[in-house]
Amino acid sequence: MTQSTAVDTIPFPSEDIDIESSDFDSDLEETHVELPNINRDTAQKNLNFKKKKAYFLVKKKTGTFHKEWLEIYNWLIYDASKNLMFCLLCKFHNKQNKFGKEGSKNFKSSALGEHTSTKDHTDVTNREIGKAELIKVTNNAIDKAQQYIDALMKVVFWLAENDIPLNKLSKVIQLCRALECPKLLSNSNPVTYENHISGRQMLSAISNSIEETIWKELDEVTAFGIMIDESTDISCEPHLIIYVKYCWHGHIKINFLKLLQLKSKDSKSIFELIIGLFDEKVLC
């Protein structure tokens, strides 16, 4: 009759098993257990475990990143190479929270909502809003000032084109305001350019711009001609007026180029003055 023992009911493993755990980590030394003679060899073999490490891993699911979050949260950036989410604003302002420093792997919409309500994120958001408002106000002021100057320069150019003295500039500006010209309506700015001195400076700038355009056209044409005339102004100073004639894209153009002061009225002085002018522009 076969003797029955409690050993027969023990479920011995047929092979070595590795069990992973984050909470339990132990080394099992080789163990020898003395068993009854019945099935002793088989039981002894199964119980002789060599050193094993057991790990029970409990992984917390954090989900995956959803691209549509980038459209919902305009401050959110995602680093695919590191699989991390960052806050653009917190990162730019060197905030020491998770989204601003090391990045977050908590891929949950609730985590993004929580970050939005944090003090760090609220502070940097308000700072960026204030900066945007300041830039907007500054740009509006610059645009209005630019429109005002453009309108003044058009008035100055019209006066010069119609041989009207620049000392009439302020009166013409008053007329424009009376006619409710939109770019000249406001006169609350204490700094204005509506006097004849500013008018001369604007006229000089316009003249330089037109002259530069003419020189560029002369540099591109095959040939051009010049017309000169010597005159003396009311202060008895001699001047040389120069016109140029050339063909520009099929159109014949005649433009005033330069008014030069003469040191002497003889032909040699006039010739040297003209050659010197075109040599300076590398057109001779």
What pLDDT digit, counting tens, does each position of 202-213 carry? Answer: 999 998 999 999
Evaluate whether 153 touches 161 at the Cβ level (below 8 Å). Answer: no
What is d(CA 176, CA 170) in angstroms, rounded to the nearest whole number?
A: 10
pLDDT in tens, 183-241: 876 656 666 788 888 899 999 999 899 999 999 999 999 899 999 998 887 778 888 99
Inter-residue contact 77 to 115 (CB < 8 Å)? no
The DSSP annotation for 174-189 comes to HHHHHTT-GGG-----
pLDDT tens column, 80-99: 999 999 999 999 999 999 99
pLDDT of residue 52: 38
Pairing outcome for strands 224-232 and 238-248: antiparallel
Residues 104 and 107: their CA atoms lie apart, in Å, by 8
C-alpha dihedral (19, 24, 29, 32), degrees to nearest 10: -70
Query: What residue spans define the domains of the chain?
Result: 1-59, 69-117, 127-201, 221-280
Residue 160 to residue 173: CA distance in whole angstroms: 15
Q: pLDDT (tens digit, 9 = 90+) per residue, 6-21?
A: 444 444 444 444 444 3
CB of 221 within 8 A of CB of 247?
Answer: yes
pLDDT at 47 over 80: no
Q: What is the mean pLDDT of residues 108-116?
A: 91
Helix (H, G, I), strand (E, B) or coil at 28: coil
